[in-house]
Amino acid sequence: MIKTTAQKIYVALIFIFLYAPIFTLMVLSFNASKTRSKWGGFTIKWYKQLFQNEEIMEALWNTLLIAFLSALIATIIGTITCLAFNYLKKSNRAILLGMANIPMLNAEIVTGISLMLLFISLGIKFGFMTILLAHITFNIPYVILSVLPRMKQLNPSTYEAALDLGCNQWQAFFKVTFPDLLPGILSGFLMAFTMSLDDFVITHFTKGPGIDTLSTKIYTEVKKGIKPEMYSLSTIIFVAVLVLLLLVNYTPKDKKNK
Amino acid sequence: MNKKLLSAPFLFWSGLFIIVPLLMVFYYGLTDKTGAFTFENIAAISSPEHLKALWEAVKLSVLSTIICLILAYPLAMILCKSGSNKTSFMVLIFILPMWMNFLLRTFAWLTLLEKTGVINTLLKLVGLPTLNIINTPGAIVLGMVYNFLPFMVLPIYNVLIKIDKNVINAARDLGANPFQTFMKITLPLSVPGIISGITMVFVPALTTFIISTILGGSKILLIGNVIEQEFTQTGNWHLGSGLSIVLMMFIIFNMVISAVTDKDGEAQAL
Amino acid sequence: MKKALVNLEHISKSYDGQLILDDLNLYIRENEFLTLLGPSGCGKTTTLRILGGFETPDAGKVYFDGVDITHLQPNKRQLNTVFQKYALFTHMNIAENIAFGLKIKNKSKAYIDDKIKYALKLVNLDGYEKRMPDSLSGGQQQRIAIARAIVNEPKLLLLDEPLGALDLKLRQDMQYELIRLKNELGITFIYVTHDQEEALTMSDTIVVMNQGYIQQIGTPEMIYNEPENAFVADFIGESNIISATMIQDRLVEILGTKFACVDEGFGNNTPVDVVIRPEDVELVDLADANAKYIIEGTVTHVIFKGVHYEMEVMANGFEWLVHSTGMFPVGTKVGIHVDPFNIQIMNKPESEDEEAVGVNE
């Protein structure tokens, strides 16, 4: 429990600071006036038009598909990397962690231009594929950093116990090790998905003409004026995620705890 | 099966998509259009316009980092002391906003900060002088603090929450008052979190071009803007790479510091 | 009798509506080694934290040297604590850890250096000044935690399960070490543990606690030989606890057979519990014509325990636990004899709930 009133006020102010822009966007999504600086009355027409706007729908589809695929592939690569971790020499572990840290600590703009230079010299056509490769690259570290702590906590005896009780290596892995790692894997996947969804800079440098994600679409609109449909789309996404999070966090926990 | 081989896909991937691209930046940065070796692209940082952009970026990012630290530390302490539903609350506060596109969120500050924007309308309503910070460095700092504050709070929180309550109690038991306990125990023990937070805020703030584009109008150019333009508009990749190498010097310096102070990785933010 | 250093009067404390301590009264004499003993959740650690100043009781007063310190901040109290898992400051070396309290009090450098040397010598770790806590073993860290506390010359040292994290052998060594330290320092120790053997080995006085109540206060011998109720008897060592009827003074009927005992004043035909320690149950060979015994039984289990054999003997429908250096094989018919002074009579709790009845001094 937060003790003093001063502390409560402080947390509340930060909360307002973080959520004021989000609230603003939500309000704008119901604004009948097309300019964002004037309130022209309440309307839901942007929500209706949103689904007829093919450009936005396509950008949304690209965004979600890239986020899902890049998170999935990054999760697979990241998880098997963590499995190897315990068998590596100390120096090799340091190298591995160092590699994973580069995209996390490096500037996005440098990661973006470096990948751009790579794709150009490899002669890969810029488009969906290049964005996907780039997103997988910056997503793997998030998965590793989320799975590795659970890997370190893992009691090696449980895996050996499974072998002792008659499992083969694969059964032991899928019945014992994998369920233990699952929370880390899931949160890694979710983190990767979120990062991909929110990325602009790296996509900006690795996308080709003719393909847009929501981020790059918004970027081109920043100068011309953002279409109100964009506000309604982000409101829908935000509310959907909020509801989902609240459901996950506040439904009574399943006692079985798989 | 040799289990070490499981790390092969990652090593291959990182080699191809992290190491090789970085080497290419160095290659481009250290050559001219004919492919001859040159330091010119790096030396170009000393031209007045580049130096100004770099100086502006350093100034604003240092300022934002300091503001983030000042805002985040008390917040992390309060969150540490507060109730049981910590993790879900932290997620709610800091991860949730990421699901609303970061360009849009930054853009929303325009609506809030404009001359006739929401905040000024409110200020006028209560008879206070209006705020005129849009298209100024102030607006960029605000945008940086807004976007990167979570990266300061989370590592500090992660370090604070792991401090054994009895260590704090022990200091009190040995005669330290709450202020002495904070200065001699809590603060030194949270240094890895602070350093990690500084790295996580300073690097993206230093290198951003999007926040300055949206909130700074086109008047203020940061080093990130210059590099972005070299790649997407001017098309001088050599110069862009050269300037990126300069930028990476800052980043490497930062990485070294954080690696030295946080050996166990206990302050990892995420 | 020495005067009381600490007085706890009518202390109550609850968390989230759950009563942890209920009207606890306790005094601690100067220079005493007093142990708070009980299972987890019995209130022993809360009692210690109230003494240390890390908790404030909901009701009641704490007196230290006659002064009310109930609401005094921990840093103002003339006592020090050795914490569970040591709580060393990992960002300071050993010397800085030990000097912490003295620097806060602005002692001179020469004084502090002297004290560090003295304290390290006392805990047998001379020369460890520059080491970092992480580089020390658990037992060594434990000694540093003690050194860090005692350089402040507290009148009272609180120890919260300090040996809990150590392995058995080290724990036993540290027990002797603690007794030696206490004798050399001549100060009062209050020691919290759930390990009854530890309590019996080290203490002058043991306070057995359960569910927020004091069950019994006494010397280790008293607690072991004359437990006041079934909880204490069961918690301290192994024992046979049997429902019985006090026929009259000095005569108790156990499992339908009358036994002579030495207790008086329970009234006639009163239901009671009796405690008989396993080592006080004597087994005799029925074949021996001179054998003296009260009831007959059959050996059902035998386990060799090193110092003795542990046997279970079925007699009068009860499995008697017996410790003896002599062994009878399983299936042997044996006679059971108990000397009258080895039968400990206890009042029965009035209901199941009242097993944890408050015992005021």
Q: Which domain holds residue A136?
A: 54-257
Does C141 lie at the interface with B, CB-CB under 8 angstroms? no
Question: Does residue B49 belong to any structural domain of this protein?
Answer: yes
Give the CA dihedral C149, C152, C155, C160, nearest 10 degrees: -10
- Judging contact as 3 or more Cβ pairs under 8 Å, the answer for C and A is no
CA atoms within 13 A on the CB side of A45: 9
Tally Cβ neighbours within 10 Å of residue B6: 19
d(CA A3, CA A60): 43
Amino acid at C130: K
CA–chain centroid gap for A127, Å, is 20
pLDDT of residue B270: 40
pLDDT of residue B262: 59
d(CA B59, CA B56): 5
Query: C233, C241 in Cβ contact below 8 A?
Result: yes
In terms of Cβ atoms closer than 10 Å to its own Cβ (0-12, 13-18, 19+), residue C135 is exposed
Question: Does residue B243 belong to any structural domain of this protein?
Answer: yes
Q: Chain B contacts of C84, Cβ < 8 Å?
A: 166
Question: Does residue A167 belong to any structural domain of this protein?
Answer: yes
pLDDT of residue A168: 83
Whether residues B177 and B146 share a domain: the answer is: yes
d(CA C251, CA B105): 87
- Are B111 and A37 a contacting pair at CB < 8 A? yes
Determine the longest span between alpha carbons in chain A, in angstroms.
Answer: 72
Whether residues A1 and A115 share a domain: the answer is: no
Nearest to B10 among A18, A77, A115 (CB): A77
Which chains are adjacent to chain B, needing at least 3 Cβ pairs under 8 Å?
Answer: A, C
pLDDT of residue C2: 59
Looking at the DSSP bridge assignments, the partners of residue C324 are C309
Token pair of B238, please? Answer: 């050599």
Whether residues B150 and B83 share a domain: the answer is: yes
Confidence of residue B123 (pLDDT cuts 50, 70, 90): confident
Whether residues B203 and B249 share a domain: the answer is: yes
Question: Does residue B64 belong to any structural domain of this protein?
Answer: yes
Domain edges within chain C: 4-225, 238-360
- Outline where chain A has alpha helix (H): 5-28, 45-50, 54-85, 90-105, 108-122, 128-153, 156-164, 169-172, 178-198, 201-206, 214-224, 228-250
3-state SS record for A36-98: CCCCCCECCHHHHHHCCCHHHHHHHHHHHHHHHHHHHHHHHHHHHHHHHHCCCCHHHHHHHHH
- Are A201 and B103 a contacting pair at CB < 8 A? no
Residue B137 reports pLDDT greater than 80: yes
3-state SS record for chain C: CCCEEEEEEEEEEEECCEEEEEEEEEEEECCCEEEEECCCCCCHHHHHHHHHCCCCCCEEEEEECCEECCCCCHHHCCEEEECCCCCCCCCCCHHHHHHHHHHHCCCCHHHHHHHHHHHHHHCCCCCCCCCCHHHCCHHHHHHHHHHHHHCCCCCEEEEECCCCCCCHHHHHHHHHHHHHHHHHHCCEEEEEECCHHHHHHHCCEEEEEECCEEEEEECHHHHHHCCCCHHHHHHCCCCEEEEEEEEECCEEEECCEEEECCCCCCCCCEEEEEEECHHHCEEEECCCCCCCCCEEEEEEEEEECCCCEEEEEEECCEEEEEEECCCCCCCCEEEEECCHHHCEEEECCCCHHHHHCCCCC
Choose the mutation target among B163, B168, B173 for the interface with C, i.e. most C CBs under 10 Å: B173
Whether residues A161 and A85 share a domain: the answer is: yes
Q: What is the pLDDT along chain A (258 residues), one digit of tens a residue?
A: 446 888 889 989 999 999 999 999 999 899 888 777 778 888 889 999 999 999 999 999 999 999 999 999 999 999 999 988 878 888 888 888 888 888 888 899 999 999 999 999 999 999 999 999 999 999 999 999 899 988 888 877 788 888 888 888 888 888 888 888 999 999 999 999 999 998 999 999 999 888 999 999 999 988 788 888 999 999 999 999 888 878 876 665 544 343
Q: What is the pLDDT along chain C (361 residues), one digit of tens a residue?
A: 457 899 999 999 998 888 999 999 999 999 999 999 999 889 999 999 999 999 999 999 999 999 999 999 999 999 999 998 889 998 999 999 999 999 999 999 999 999 999 999 988 899 999 999 999 998 899 999 999 999 999 999 999 998 887 888 888 888 998 999 999 889 999 999 999 989 999 999 999 999 999 999 999 999 998 898 889 998 988 889 999 999 999 999 999 999 999 988 888 999 999 999 999 999 998 888 788 889 999 999 999 998 899 999 999 999 999 999 989 999 999 999 999 999 999 888 765 444 444 433 3
Question: Does residue B182 belong to any structural domain of this protein?
Answer: yes
pLDDT of residue B4: 78
Residue B259 reports pLDDT greater than 80: no
Amino acid at C349: P
Whether residues B110 and B17 share a domain: the answer is: no
Residue B190 reports pLDDT greater than 50: yes
pLDDT of residue A140: 95
d(CA A142, CA B180): 38
- Are C84 and B175 a contacting pair at CB < 8 A? no
Given the structure tokens 């400990």, which residue do they identify? C344
The per-residue pLDDT of chain B, averaged, comes to 87
- Three-state DSSP at A233 gives helix
CA atoms within 13 A on the CB side of C38: 25
Residue B227 reports pLDDT greater than 60: yes
CATH number of the structural domain spanning residue B184: 1.10.3720.10
pLDDT of residue C360: 37
Whether residues B20 and B129 share a domain: the answer is: no
Question: Does residue B270 belong to any structural domain of this protein?
Answer: no
- Are C74 and B180 a contacting pair at CB < 8 A? no
Task: Say how many domains are in chain B.
Answer: 2
- Sign of the dihedral through C-alpha C166, C169, C170, C172: positive
Whether residues A153 and A206 share a domain: the answer is: yes
Question: Does residue A48 belong to any structural domain of this protein?
Answer: no
pTM (2 decimals)? 0.82
- Are C75 and B173 a contacting pair at CB < 8 A? yes
pLDDT of residue B133: 83
Q: What is the DSSP string of B79-138?
A: HHHS-S-HHHHHIIIIIGGGGS-HHHHHHHHHHHHSTTSHHHHHHHHTTPPPP--TTSHH
Q: Which domain holds residue B18?
A: 1-30
Could you report the predicted ipTM of this complex, rounded to two decimals? 0.86
The per-residue pLDDT of chain A, averaged, comes to 88
Question: Does residue A189 belong to any structural domain of this protein?
Answer: yes
Task: Say how many domains are in chain A.
Answer: 2
Contacts of A140 (CB under 8 A, 6+ apart): A74, A77, A78, A81, A100, A103, B10, B13, B14
Choose the mutation target among A109, A130, A143, A193 for the interface with B, i.e. most B CBs under 10 Å: A109
Whether residues A63 and A150 share a domain: the answer is: yes
Among C residues 205-234, those touching chain B with beta carbons less than 8 Å apart: none
Question: Does residue B241 belong to any structural domain of this protein?
Answer: yes
Whether residues A88 and A210 share a domain: the answer is: yes
* Shortest Cα–Cα distance, A83 to chain B (Å): 7
- Is 3.40.50.1860 the CATH number for C238-360? no
Question: Does residue A49 belong to any structural domain of this protein?
Answer: no
Contacts of A58 (CB under 8 A, 6+ apart): A212
pLDDT of residue B181: 94
Token pair of A118, please? Answer: 């790579």
Question: Does residue B48 belong to any structural domain of this protein?
Answer: yes
First to last CA, chain C: 16
pLDDT of residue A252: 58
Q: Chain C contacts of B173, Cβ < 8 Å?
A: 52-53, 74-75, 77, 80-81, 83, 149
Q: Chain C contacts of B170, Cβ < 8 Å?
A: 81, 83, 87-89, 148
Among A residues 63-82, those touching chain B with beta carbons less than 8 Å apart: 77-78, 80-81
Amino acid at B66: I
DSSP tag of B31:
B
Question: Does residue A111 belong to any structural domain of this protein?
Answer: yes
Backbone angles phi, psi at B134, to 5 degrees: -65, 145
**pLDDT tens per residue across span B17-62:** 999 999 999 999 999 888 889 998 999 899 999 999 999 999 999 9
Of C104, C47, C46, nearest to C75 by C-alpha is: C104
Question: Does residue A149 belong to any structural domain of this protein?
Answer: yes
Token pair of C287, please? Answer: 């074949």
Domain covering C4-225, topology: Rossmann fold (3.40.50)
* Shortest Cα–Cα distance, B176 to chain A (Å): 22
Of A39, A232, A225, A222, nearest to B117 by C-alpha is: A39
Whether residues A193 and A251 share a domain: the answer is: yes
Whether residues A159 and A246 share a domain: the answer is: yes
Q: Which residue in chain B is spatially nearest to A223 when comparing CA positions?
A: B214
Token pair of B91, please? Answer: 């997620």
Pairing of strands C188-193, C33-37: parallel
